[in-house]
Amino acid sequence: MCYSISQGKRNAYLSALKEGVPRDELERLYNEWQEAQKDEAERDEESPMAFVNGFEHPKLFALIKAVELKATRFTWGLIPSWTKDKTQAMEIRNKTLNARGESLFEKASFKDAALDKRCLVFVNGFFEYYHFKGKTYPNFIQHKEKDKPLVFGGLWSDWTDHSTGETYQSASIVTTQANDLMTSIHNNPKANGARMPLILESNDFEQWLSTNNRREVEELIRPLPDGKLKAHTVKRLVGKNGVGDSEEATKEYIYSDLNEQGTLF
């Protein structure tokens, strides 16, 4: 599953959009992006955002398409439009950080968004835990090409709290079956099979954002081909000795007890 990520910064976001986006559109989105930053308590450049925990419901940098492409931010943890009140909303969003791709059109929380509210979520990478002899070891997974961001397929929703009139925009990251690399990492014995985020390639962006055809959505829900990701173990992220949201979060760290079994990747 995907519950923690390294958030894409503006340079990663822009480098991803350069694939197939006209220059004038790119500049418009960049300006829009800068304006969106002004309303945040912490500016992007002031926070490493190297390790972002989904259960803290941070803002995800995303792209949607209505009449035109639009840069925006969504709170992580989708709140369906039919949610009754804020109490229910706060409960639901802890269960909707991820959306299982194989059942998008069956699950009440996701089926409306799956049809016409999809987004692209830009990240530097994500974290997954490897299980070995009763312990867990965090891994950072990123694109094999240096500094190239990963682009997740996501769903989004608008929900209005009728007691206050406040509108919440939120999103979920779609997951799919794991490829070979992620199968070797996501080996949680309690999990129902290895999973990974739905990582889209540039030639999939338009279809993911624009189609209203269920079959065309479902054909994009597949593992990223092997050979396009790389991974390494990192220091403990949480707990007493956890590095948390710091530059250390994504740096390689070697565990001596894992070396006993040979190289993992």
pLDDT in tens, 66-86: 777 887 889 999 999 999 999
> Would you list the domain boundaries of the chain?
4-259
Q: What average pLDDT is seen over the chain? A: 86
- Which CATH code, of 3.40.50.2020, 3.40.640.10, 3.90.1680.10, 3.90.1150.10, is assigned to 4-259? 3.90.1680.10
Q: Which amino acid, residue 259?
A: N
Lowest-confidence segment of 5-14, 122-131, 199-208, 212-221 by average pLDDT = 5-14
Least confident of 38-52, 160-174, 187-201: 38-52
- Name the pairing type of β-strands 150-161 and 118-132: antiparallel
What stretch of H or E contains 25?
Answer: helix 23-37
Rg (CA), the chain: 18
Query: Residue 239: left (phi > 0), alpha (psi -120 to 50), or beta?
Result: left
> Which stretches of 103-228 are assigned E, i.e. beta strand?
118-132, 135-143, 150-161, 166-177, 195-197
pLDDT of amino acid 41: 45
For the range 207-212, what are the long-range contacts, defined as Cβ-Cβ under 8 Å and sequence gap of 24 or more?
208/118, 208/120, 208/153, 209/63, 209/64, 209/65, 209/69, 209/118, 209/119, 209/120, 210/65, 212/115, 212/116
pTM > 0.75: yes or no: yes
The continuous run of DSSP H or E covering 72 comes out as strand 69-76
Residue range 45-70: mean pLDDT, rounded: 78
Per-residue confidence at 262, pLDDT binned at 50, 70, 90?
low
10-42, pLDDT tens digit by residue?
655 566 566 556 667 666 666 666 665 555 544
What pLDDT sits at residue 16? 59
